[in-house]
Amino acid sequence: MGCLLSAGSPCKLGHCPLRDVRVADRGQRRLGGWGFEGEGFPPSAALLAWLDAHLGATAPPPAGDLTQAPLEAPRPLPPLAAAVSTTSRDRLVHARGQGFPDLVRMRVGTVGRVPDAIVYPASDTETEAVLHACVRAGALVVPWGGGTSVTGGVNVPPGDGPVVSLDLTRLAGLVALDATSGLAAVGAGTLGPALERALAARGFTLGHFPQSWELSSVGGWIVTRSSGQESLGYGSIDDLVAGLTLIAPAGRLDLPACPASAAGPDLRELVLGSEGRLGVVTRATLRVRPRPERVVVTGVVFPTWEAGLEAARALVQGEVRLTLLRLSDEPETQVAMTLGLSRLGALAPLAHRWLAFRGVRDRGCLMLVGAAGSEPHVRRTLAGARALLRRHRAVNLGTGPGRTWLADRFRHPYLRDALLDRGIATDTLETAAPWSGVPALARAVRAALAGALQRERERVAVLCHVSHPYLDGASLYFTFFFRCPADPDAAVARWATIKRAATTAIVAGGGTLSHHHGVGAWHAPWLVREIGQTGVDLLRAAAARLDPTGILNPHVLLDPTDRLES
């Protein structure tokens, strides 16, 4: 989700989860939903009231028992030279990712195809052997890191032949650390918390915190061009990858970690965003930094979205050294402040009057800005930011909104499951554009989302924020809500209608298909609109060279088939 900002509860642990790496064993992954069994993030009464006012009354959809879902018997496979599982639970876990259609179909047990085997290589040698065995057997291979794809990128592709899920769990851990150079060699199957724990023990951090951080892997970040929530300060994964190893059926790429090179095109860029279509990333060398002494996130509110955009651009182009910047539009701010003010009880009217006196009435926009580093650096950076923001009519809210957001930001994905329990569907999409195009693109995508279900006389509630600003532009991250039909096919069809309308608006408005979720299967039909037919042909040629028989993720990136309703 990532949309409610200051709407959550205060941190119960008394420390900042942004830098907390004491993530204990959380128990078993939830089957058919986000996260871990026994954990959740229930919606507040205020949020449910807001959704009821914007969508209408809802009813809980039926739910099935996924553990009773009928599965085809595994197709025969040759020896795969690595640990293998064919248990029903493992096959179900690896059947789909975390997109809305995946969640709906898993909840009712209509999963579709599942892999015939889950293979766990523990070395590059085993990975190569598995790929060669799959080529001989004609088995498709779906690389699997944390399984958090929201674009159909890890779903089992259609077809009649055998399918292997290549789980990189055993290719994990901090292999080596060059503290002098700030370079960490890491297994691609390493999940976010494990990586930060290992780096923290040596006084370092990667600074890469996507919302899927607790469940996503280094390899997954690389092949989807992930951005963390502090990308303003640390960069996206593109900036953090210094070298890597890619293993493909027809060979391997061992790209060394160099600070810079003019030795031809940078082949790391070919692997970044390749989504398993060209090969399997097994390890990477990442640029790490000393852990900051202090992290502070503070909040301000603007009278209008336009004022907030201008302030965001001024902060970035003025080179204020922030690590985080998030600007919510009016509806997202309304949700956040409705929830926040509801906790003030009798003080809420006083807070409303104070904001109105400062020029913020019903259409305010919340911005969070964060700084990390030494105590003097954080103090100077935030002082400079506040001075600039005041010139753009920002009203200071202090560090309360930032503390609350930090405490809850990795809990927000649980909210999607809790809302669906009540018949409320929600999903997200993101894009990016130059600053000059951001306002118009935001308006166009909002309108496309809001009007997508008019023929059904259904409403769609839309929230938006900027979360990754650059010198030349910014990302736009949309969250949308709609009433979920009881029938899962109807629910997915409704979602697909919304998704097509928004994607069409993004392409027409000059935005990128994806800022940090990748292309996967669901965006693939539109890729040619962004990179052109020559670009698609170039990628096909690379895939044909590395994977001549096409066993690796054939349904992602380069497949023009519309799979939104699969």
How sure is the predictor about 46, in pLDDT bands with cuts at 50, 70 and 90?
confident
d(CA 39, CA 410): 12
pLDDT tens-place string over residues 293-331: 999 999 999 999 999 999 999 999 998 999 999 999 999
Residue 2 confidence (pLDDT): 42
Closest CA to 71 of 53, 44, 91, 100: 91
d(CA 130, CA 144): 14
How sure is the predictor about 128, in pLDDT bands with cuts at 50, 70 and 90?
very high
Residue 32 confidence (pLDDT): 85
Is the per-residue pLDDT at 341 higher than 60?
Answer: no
The predicted model gives 152-160 an average pLDDT of 93
Q: How many CA atoms lie within 13 A of 107 on its CB side?
A: 26
Is the per-residue pLDDT at 561 higher than 90?
Answer: yes
Question: How far apart, in Å, are the Cα atoms of 469 and each of 15, 19, 236, 434, 545?
Answer: 27, 22, 11, 10, 36
How sure is the predictor about 420, in pLDDT bands with cuts at 50, 70 and 90?
very high
Q: What is 294-410's CATH number?
A: 3.30.70.3450
Judge whether 556 and 153 are in contact, CB under 8 Å.
Answer: yes
Is the per-residue pLDDT at 506 higher than 70?
Answer: yes
- Per cent of the chain over pLDDT 90 is 79
The predicted model gives 328-354 an average pLDDT of 64
- The neighbouring-strand residues paired with 187 are 283
The model's pTM: 0.92
Three-state DSSP at 512 gives: coil
Spell out the domain ranges in the chain: 294-410
DSSP string covering 349-373, please? Answer: HHHHHHHHHTT--TT-EEEEEEEEE
Lowest mean per-residue pLDDT among 59-73, 323-337, 416-430: 59-73
How sure is the predictor about 65, in pLDDT bands with cuts at 50, 70 and 90?
confident
Residue 68 confidence (pLDDT): 80
Helix pair angle (330-342, 348-357), 10° resolution: 140
d(CA 146, CA 216): 4
The predicted model gives 148-166 an average pLDDT of 95
Reading the block at residue 285, the tokens are 């060398």
Longest dimension (CA), the chain: 73
Question: How far apart, in Å, are the Cα atoms of 285 and each of 72, 94, 199?
Answer: 40, 27, 13
